[in-house]
Amino acid sequence: MTPLKTHNLVKRYGGLLVTDNVSLDIARGELHAVIGPNGAGKTTLINQLSGELASDAGTIRFGGADVTALPVHERARQGLLRSYQITSIFEDFSVLENAALAALGARQHAWRFWQPMLGNAKARTAADEALSAAGLAHRAHVPAGELGYGERRQLELAMALAAQPAFLLLDEPMAGMSAQESAAVIALLKGLKGRYTILLVEHDMDAVFALADRISVLVYGKVMFTGTPDEIRNHPEVRAVYLGEEAL
């Protein structure tokens, strides 16, 4: 079963058509990248997929079910999770506590204030495994506020993993990173490939071509072309859109 499928997804702002009949079909275990010029509609699309933005037309099917009308938290409970461009962590809590909170939030409808957050065995296990996958196990007991920028992005990813998603929406995970930090995240995502189905929106073309199984090019809200990295590199219209960009 295809984990995520969209059909003719549309979002308008007044007379401006931001996503124009976007249809995607993402296979289980695939890392699918969406690229495009600034203003192409990438952020709007990911907001529609996560449930933060209602679509004006079209459908979103996740795990075979129609989730088009479901709010963010319902999609998250079904395993469709987004990692944000801007990190949102609890700086006074440890790295491990942040991951455990994410795990608890995915499993429980109500907080148990009388129970320590690390007292839940399943949440603790999920948090430990997520920190290991994200390369932060050695920083588990450090206050999150002491992390550098790159490590904060790793923690954000670990928090998404701790919720044990079926599908990850990654919105520019390498934004603002140094070359060294980006290389570390690329290596991390390579390790996650196949274990998770991932949709990646990213401006770093080196990262996209190193990671993606398939790439969809979004231009003025429309999917111009979907193909393998080699097909994208050799597509004349895509090359024209990215004229001057070394990646193509």
Predicted confidence band at 246 (pLDDT cuts at 50, 70, 90)?
very low
Q: Count the neighbouring beta carbons within 10 Å of the beta carbon of residue 157.
A: 24
Distance CA 78, CA 63 (A): 9
Angle among Cα 65, 55, 229 to the nearest 5 degrees reads 75
DSSP state, residue 149:
H
> What's the pLDDT at 177?
84
| Per-residue pLDDT, 28 | 93
Tell me the per-residue pLDDT of 77-135, one tens digit each, with 9 for 90 and over. 889 988 865 557 899 999 999 999 888 876 554 445 445 667 678 889 999 999 998 88
Question: Mind listing the pLDDT tens digit for each residue in 202-222?
Answer: 988 889 999 999 999 999 999
Average pLDDT over the chain, rounded to an integer? 87
34-46 in b/e form (b: 16+ CB < 10 A) is bbbeeebbbbbbb
Kindly report the pTM of this predicted structure: 0.88
As a whole number of Å, the CA-based R_g of the chain is 18
Q: For residue 34, what pLDDT is reported?
A: 96
User: What is the assigned CATH class of domain 4-79+166-241?
Assistant: alpha beta
The maximal CA–CA distance of the chain, rounded, in angstroms, is 61
pLDDT the model gives residue 146: 96
Instruction: Enumerate the domain spans of the chain.
Output: 4-79+166-241
**b/e map 189-210, b = 16+ CB within 10 Å:** beebeeebbbbbbbebbebbbe
Read off the pLDDT of residues 168-188 as tens digits, 9 standing for 90 and up: 999 888 888 888 888 888 998
Asked whether residue 11 carries a pLDDT value surpassing 80, the answer given is yes
What region does 241 belong to: left with phi over 0, alpha with psi -120 to 50, or beta? alpha
